Structure 1
């Protein structure tokens, strides 16, 4: 099977966990004998091809007001204009059409559509190809991908989001199959009328994390840590405030990057040297140096691959009981759950694991065992292969039936 993988970004452009999963998936499918080609957006004009770790990768210059993969936050009106164009960006059909004509794939595996917009579905449909859509976030409901605004998770679409997503649900009927990276995410999108009559699947993101020796535990304070995007919806400010209010003999290392204004705002919250910003870090090395991982998301995190990686490294995880995180983190089994609706619940979880060494060690001991199925990359590849084959056969059967009906007519 020849597969075209469509995604917003591709290595070395990385925005989050989705990029890591897409790369592992593309390389894994190619190892299994499929021919895989990747198409992502890029900062340069035109369509530019290159080889990335054995895969043919095309990058299409983004036809919009600015390149969105940057740490600088554009002005509000500029952002609104960008999202207005991204509701259906006809110009982005052109590079997709060019790559389809050159590569002649059997099927298109769509991941994040930010930058491409749902116009990609129409272009794929026009080419007579099946499209399998993978949901990594809430882009189809919210231009910001998060359904999070003014410090709160949005229970429903606001008027602006509804306007910018007008007719998206109806357009989703052209997709051959849909995959959610968590049950929560798939159900939340589909309950808004998306993918009517389309086969639905849940395939959890997985990561291959070998059993590795933890870094030696030095004498000194307990080590809490966060790794990810530095933004309001990720709850980093909440974590800093709760941690510093406790006054524990512990450290909090914060790894990752964010928009420049978000980074400055977070840095201004720090009042002690117990909280350290350590910048972009290799995840395995960073996690290996912690005692407790914290994922204080304030938005409905679709899945939370970092939680899986933390458990794989034998860490107890403090996580918000929102979105897909409770599908991975079990309270009192491999971590503790808190809730943004009760801000002090995060501080209570931090204090509990600081003071209760026996609980901390028990959760750490059980952590990897609880997520063992999520470390099996071959199982994820099996599931994707099955869905792709079924989608291709379904598409071919449908085309044959249409042809037969035309002949009879």
Structure 2
């Protein structure tokens, strides 16, 4: 007998929500892409969304609707919000230092924001300053601050900062009205850092899924100069030392000339560019030393529909993270949402959603021989690749943006009700 489903929890009333992010499109970065998707989904649920971000996120040209509330142009227009249709955008912050906190507070007061959600990733907020970590303190009496931790990495601050680096991150969690973790491992850590409410809310794909037709797929493969029998491996996401692209290059060197690799999208992103560019330079040197230049292709930054076409054109996606696969990665979610067969590395923490041989193919991190063997095994088994892709798409259904936005807004509503009760 099938038991009836319990009624869905009531949707919270429309809220006035502020999203603070160190990056936002057209800047390149996963946190910016996440914030855009979350803002759209929150707006679709009826919430009023205000986004506060870097000056580098100012669109050019302005979207239809342009600047809202201003007198039409000139210097004054730089201080007015940009109407995105689904949110008002304030690209106001030049550097994430102490004056930026007052900018955020002023905007929160101007729009009577009920909650401010900080999208925290240290690399996006000036690695040399801990100013943004004091946002909950600055917004006391203005609006409660909820922090979404996209990772728990610490800022650089200054040489020999030592334990102070982790202290400022832990203090951010302790000062916030509530915290959101994007995966189970971070959820457990945050519970040890703060007695404030912590909620685990997953992330979704950082691009909209698009189904290219066979002509678009053929055009991608032809453009890369592939032959009929060639095998195309795809890697999607920015490059840094944690993501294992160097292991992937070593694995490619162990495979014969039929195998090609395409790096899909931008290469280093807007956050922490110095370290990422240094890694990229080393990776290019590695490719040259191994004689792989003719088999490694680079797309550069692409519109989302072109990303989709390249994902579909790849026979296999290969993303061998050095720290293990994690559900906090929007690029991973994009690969799953597009129903692509994926080889990745075993997670550092138990992640029951990812099942080897069923919806992903898992190998050990930093093991080019095992990675090359996995690639060759799946390249020779189209039926297994199709099965992995179908199961990946089913798994991605658990991480749809409407549900993510509803969980996020529901958590905000619970916190606001608790604040009201205490008041």
Instruction: Give the TM-score range, shorter chain.
Output: 0.7 to 0.9
Instruction: Give distance in 2, aligned partners of 1:204 and 1:362.
Output: 24
The answer for the alignment partner of 1:117 in structure 2 is 132
Structure 1 residues 173-252: aligned runs within 5 Å: 173-190=174-191, 193-194=192-193, 196-207=194-205, 209=209, 213=213, 219-247=228-256, 249-252=258-261
Judging changes above 3 Å, is the alpha-carbon distance between structure 1 residues 166 and 304 closer, same or farther for their aligned structure 2 residues?
closer
Judging changes above 3 Å, is the alpha-carbon distance between structure 1 residues 269 and 332 closer, same or farther for their aligned structure 2 residues?
same
- 1:34 corresponds to which of 28, 47, 53: 47
Judging changes above 3 Å, is the alpha-carbon distance between structure 1 residues 234 and 347 closer, same or farther for their aligned structure 2 residues?
same
Which ranges in structure 2 are unaligned for 5 or more consecutive residues? 1-14, 59-74, 126-130, 222-227, 269-275
Q: Stretches of 4+ moved more than 6 A in 1?
A: 44-47
Tell me the TM-score normalized by structure 2: 0.76
Instruction: Give distance in 1, aligned partners of 2:252 and 2:246.
Output: 10
- 1:311 lines up with 2:336 in the alignment: yes
Contact 2:243-2:322 within 8 A present in 1 as well: yes
Contact 2:234-2:263 within 8 A present in 1 as well: yes
Contact 1:242-1:346 within 8 A present in 2 as well: yes
TM-aligned CA deviation for residue 113 of structure 1: 5.4
Judging changes above 3 Å, is the alpha-carbon distance between structure 1 residues 176 and 9 closer, same or farther for their aligned structure 2 residues?
same
The answer for the alignment partner of 2:381 in structure 1 is 356
Q: Helix, strand or coil for the counterpart of 1:110?
A: strand
Residues 72-129 of structure 1: CA deviation (Å, up to 9, x unaligned): xxxxxxxxxxxxxxxxx433322122212222211111112542521111112242x2
TM-aligned CA deviation for residue 233 of structure 1: 1.6
- 1:13 lines up with 2:27 in the alignment: yes
Instruction: Give distance in 1, aligned partners of 2:172 and 2:398.
Output: 34
Judging changes above 3 Å, is the alpha-carbon distance between structure 1 residues 229 and 130 closer, same or farther for their aligned structure 2 residues?
same
Q: Helix, strand or coil for the counterpart of 2:242?
A: helix
Contact 1:185-1:324 within 8 A present in 2 as well: no
TM-aligned CA deviation for residue 212 of structure 1: 5.7
Contact 1:226-1:254 within 8 A present in 2 as well: yes
Contact 1:308-1:328 within 8 A present in 2 as well: no
Instruction: Give distance in 2, aligned partners of 1:135 and 1:187.
Output: 12
Contact 2:212-2:308 within 8 A present in 1 as well: no
Instruction: Give distance in 1, aligned partners of 2:40 and 2:229.
Output: 42
- 1:51 lines up with 2:66 in the alignment: no
Please report the RMSD computed on the Cα atoms of aligned residues, expressed in angstroms: 2.9
Contact 2:182-2:201 within 8 A present in 1 as well: yes
- 1:23 lines up with 2:31 in the alignment: no
TM-aligned CA deviation for residue 3 of structure 1: 0.9
Contact 1:179-1:203 within 8 A present in 2 as well: yes
The answer for the alignment partner of 1:150 in structure 2 is none
TM-aligned CA deviation for residue 350 of structure 1: 1.5
The answer for the alignment partner of 1:100 in structure 2 is 108
Most deviating of 105-114 and 356-365:
356-365
Judging changes above 3 Å, is the alpha-carbon distance between structure 1 residues 53 and 171 closer, same or farther for their aligned structure 2 residues?
closer
Judging changes above 3 Å, is the alpha-carbon distance between structure 1 residues 178 and 267 closer, same or farther for their aligned structure 2 residues?
same
- 1:130 corresponds to which of 116, 132, 144: 144
Instruction: Give distance in 1, aligned partners of 2:349 and 2:100.
Output: 31
Contact 2:182-2:202 within 8 A present in 1 as well: yes
Residues 180-210 of structure 1: CA deviation (Å, up to 9, x unaligned): 11112222344xx42x221221111123536
The answer for the alignment partner of 2:66 in structure 1 is none
TM-aligned CA deviation for residue 216 of structure 1: 5.2
Q: Helix, strand or coil for the counterpart of 1:232?
A: coil
TM-aligned CA deviation for residue 35 of structure 1: 1.4
- 2:408 corresponds to which of 384, 387, 401: 384
Instruction: Give distance in 2, aligned partners of 1:316 and 1:105.
Output: 43
Contact 1:312-1:368 within 8 A present in 2 as well: yes
The answer for the alignment partner of 1:163 in structure 2 is 164
Which ranges in structure 1 are unaligned for 5 or more consecutive residues? 65-88, 146-157, 400-409
- Larger RCO (CA within 8 A; separation ≥ 6): 2
Instruction: Give distance in 2, aligned partners of 1:95 and 1:324.
Output: 39
Tell me the TM-score normalized by structure 1: 0.78
Structure 1 residues 386-401: aligned runs within 5 Å: 386-399=410-423
TM-aligned CA deviation for residue 159 of structure 1: 7.3
TM-aligned CA deviation for residue 161 of structure 1: 4.7
Residues 333-364 of structure 1: CA deviation (Å, up to 9, x unaligned): 12211222544322222222123333223222
Q: Helix, strand or coil for the counterpart of 2:132?
A: coil
Contact 2:359-2:388 within 8 A present in 1 as well: yes
Judging changes above 3 Å, is the alpha-carbon distance between structure 1 residues 110 and 324 closer, same or farther for their aligned structure 2 residues?
farther
Judging changes above 3 Å, is the alpha-carbon distance between structure 1 residues 35 and 314 closer, same or farther for their aligned structure 2 residues?
closer
The answer for the alignment partner of 2:279 in structure 1 is 262
Aligned length in residues: 355
Q: Helix, strand or coil for the counterpart of 2:286?
A: coil
